[in-house]
Amino acid sequence: MKFTATCPRGLEDLLQAELEALELSVSGQTRAAVHFDSDINGAMKACLWLRTANRVLHPLATFEANDPDQLYRAAGAIEWISHFNCSHTFAVSAHVAASHITHSQFAGLRVKDAIVDYFRDELDDRPDVDTDEPDILINLHIYKNQATLSLDLSGHSLHKRGYRARMVDAPLKENVAAAMLMRMRWPEIAAQGGSFIDPFCGSGTLLIEAAMIAGDVAPGLLAYEWGFKAWARYNDEQWNVLVEDALNRADEGLDNIPLISGGDSNSQAVDATKANIKAAGLSWKVLVQEADATTWTVPEDAKPGLIVTNPPYGERLGSTPELTPLYMDLGKNLAAQFDGWQLGMLTADSGLARATGLRASKHWAIDNGPIACRLYRIELEGARVAKAPEALLNRLRKNLKHRQRWAKREQVENFRLYDADLPEYASAVDIYQTQDDQRYAVIQEYAPPASIPEAKAEQRLRETLVAVCEVANIPPTQARLKTRERQRGKQQYEKQAPRKNSDQKSLHLVQEHGPAASVKLYVNFDDYLDTGLFLDHGPIRRQLQLEARNKHVLNLFCYTASASVHAAAAGAASTTSVDMSKTYLEWSERNFTVNGLSLRDNHLVRDDVTQWLDTAAEDGALFDIIFCDPPSFSNSKRMEDDFDVQRDHAGLIRASMALLAADGKLIFSCNRRGFKLATEISDDYKVNDITQQTLAEDFKAKSGKPIHVCFEISH
């Protein structure tokens, strides 16, 4: 008889090798399937022993199915009574693609109707349908109007081994795990006594599959139900012989399992792994611990062997830059600790694989469910972690030496280290010193030109991170990658990667302007595009601190109110901070509170600035100093109209000047590149361009436009 074993796309060669090892006659491969000829004994043997397969099918008929009626007639022509009888329940599983029949469920219903009508005509009786646990499962596949009806002899997907007692998020399928191990030649390594490690074990799938392969344990031994058991040609005695042989092989093979060890930093994952190992009957063969993969050491009594792991990754290129430090630390640790071992790493993000600094000798496409991934083989013998380009390292060293001298002299704690100094490395690097004496780096990528491939730009960004960590002596876990794109409307107030209860955990305290005029401010390196502190405005905040004593200060588009805090700390009579973001005003309140500043005279107002200005003018409010730093563009739902700073700044300035005391001044700042102050403002008010005075050493433009423009405007 003819049979078909199906598998995930890209594993056909492994599946064919498995079938040939079982001494089954392979007749050919098609996409995600291998065909073989055998008797029922061989088909049952395939169900019991195949590690990479999804299902084992017995094709009954192949025919044209251009419409539902043609499908019904062809399905009804099969001699179903020779395969099962009315005492059995059945169900139809259908898949349709690129065909005139477009609805899989409807196609399955037509086949079900044909089978029921066949039995009624033949026996005046019919089998019942059971979609949950049918005795007989019939597989319908239609592609380009060509239909194949098969008996599903496995009755369930063969990746479901039966040992998964506990689950974790996004578990690795068992047959995919087995395929990874086979690609990495684990059967040969295990036979030679090599050890196995998975430092990101999740629910333990790789560990269990490795133990079953090394112990010659049939993957189907734990399964209770099989699709072939209700088949008319099934022979119970033959099946029992196969199972008895598999049990004998397992009894002998379990003694040959080498050291297998795994772990995870998540205690729930470790608990799930232990439960699954116990369900597989391998508790005494697999060691599991709660541990950090980036500090993993060679277990005692381990022999150089294989590390295969499935670390966290995003579903597209560069989607999770925050994982780069994890991969960097992982690469350094593996290169240092596991000389002579081999590493197999599955990831959907090639950039993360490169972030390890380890060079892969080979890679394969492997789908992990719906996610297209690659398995990288890396030889760790004599492995060295790749360094960043020397030109970038030299530039960063030069900048750091100069900036640190300047920062110490000017009592600057947080500064810009690098700003696209080398055109091919188009990013900005900011250094923060936190109150707990930790140094952090925030690397913001400028959008690359369309001529630069995405993968190349992403690689350069990661090289920048490696270089910054080396030069500034910053642990990769304290470095952050940000991709800067034009933010519109409420995007500027939204989290980049929301996490439960992350606000408080992600906040760090930094200090500004030295011990004599110290102000503490909260920053957040993780959840938002910006950190909560615009470093280029440092000189403006210092100026406010020098001038604000006994003054009434207004801060428009206040963001996290850092400028207001400086003014209040200097003894301002009052501060009023206006912004429409609830998140940032809550942040502002924390900034005032941590400096011991009462909110009685420091007012936080949630409103659209343009609307609030009109209301405040009607109330007759006046301020001695007004700081206005509007966004380049905004179209938030809380605003009646969108805002464009080039188009709308003249009206904004006029409305602000209506609240300015006779001898007061408005400090107007803008980060829009190419911004031009309206001539009507220069005509009607006294304007002083103080841009250069508000650019500290770390933000003075070496070429092109400055990062911001700034004007003092008075009556």
Listing DSSP states for 485-544 in one string gives ----GGGGGS-SS--TTHHHHHEEEEEESTTTT-EEEEEESSSSSS-S--GGGHHHHHHH
pLDDT score recorded for residue 581: 93
Shared domain check, 327 and 191: yes
pLDDT surpasses 80 at 578: yes
Residue 196: both structure tokens together: 């196995």
pLDDT in tens, 35-70: 999 999 999 999 999 999 999 999 999 999 999 999
pLDDT surpasses 90 at 496: no
The whole domain housing 96 covers 2-152
Q: Would you say residue 167 lies in a domain?
A: no
Shared domain check, 55 and 29: yes
Q: Which amino acid is at 23?
A: E
Residue 576: both structure tokens together: 């009023």
Q: Which amino acid is at 240?
A: N
d(CA 94, CA 141): 6
Shared domain check, 184 and 85: no
pLDDT in tens, 437-446: 999 999 998 8
Q: Would you say residue 506 lies in a domain?
A: no
Q: What is the CATH number of the domain that holds 419?
A: 3.30.750.80
pTM > 0.85: no
Q: Which helix (H) or strand (E) holds 122?
A: helix 104-123
Shared domain check, 397 and 354: no
Q: Would you say residue 372 lies in a domain?
A: yes
Shared domain check, 335 and 263: yes
pLDDT surpasses 70 at 489: no
Shared domain check, 651 and 535: yes
Shared domain check, 532 and 666: yes
Q: Would you say residue 364 lies in a domain?
A: yes
Instruction: Locate all alpha helices (DSSP H) within 307-386, ordered by sequence.
Output: 324-337, 350-355
pLDDT in tens, 78-93: 999 999 999 999 999 9
Q: Would you say residue 225 lies in a domain?
A: no
d(CA 628, CA 669): 6
Phi, psi of 368 (to 5 degrees): -100, 90
Shared domain check, 622 and 529: yes
pLDDT score recorded for residue 702: 66
d(CA 501, CA 523): 16
Question: What percent of the chain stands above pLDDT 90?
Answer: 81
Binned at pLDDT 50, 70 and 90, residue 495 comes out as very low
Q: Would you say residue 509 lies in a domain?
A: no
Shared domain check, 610 and 549: yes
d(CA 627, CA 606): 17
Instruction: Locate all alpha helices (DSSP H) within 321-389, ordered by sequence.
Output: 324-337, 350-355
Shared domain check, 595 and 533: yes
Q: Would you say residue 159 lies in a domain?
A: no
Q: Is 246 helix (H, G, I), strand (E, B) or coil?
A: helix
* Residue whose entry in the numeric block shows the structure tokens 């050890």: 195
pLDDT surpasses 90 at 594: yes
Domain's final residue, options 324, 345, 379: 379
Shared domain check, 83 and 144: yes
Domain's final residue, options 357, 379, 401: 379
pLDDT surpasses 70 at 343: yes
Domain's final residue, options 325, 346, 379: 379
Q: Would you say residue 426 lies in a domain?
A: yes
pLDDT score recorded for residue 245: 98
Give the chain's domain count: 4
Q: What is the DSSP letter of 702?
A: S
Binned at pLDDT 50, 70 and 90, residue 75 comes out as very high
pLDDT score recorded for residue 41: 97
d(CA 275, CA 73): 49
**Which of 464-473, 514-523, 594-603 is predicted with the least confidence, judged by mean pLDDT?**
514-523
pLDDT in tens, 118-171: 999 999 999 999 999 999 999 999 999 999 999 999 999 999 999 999 988 778
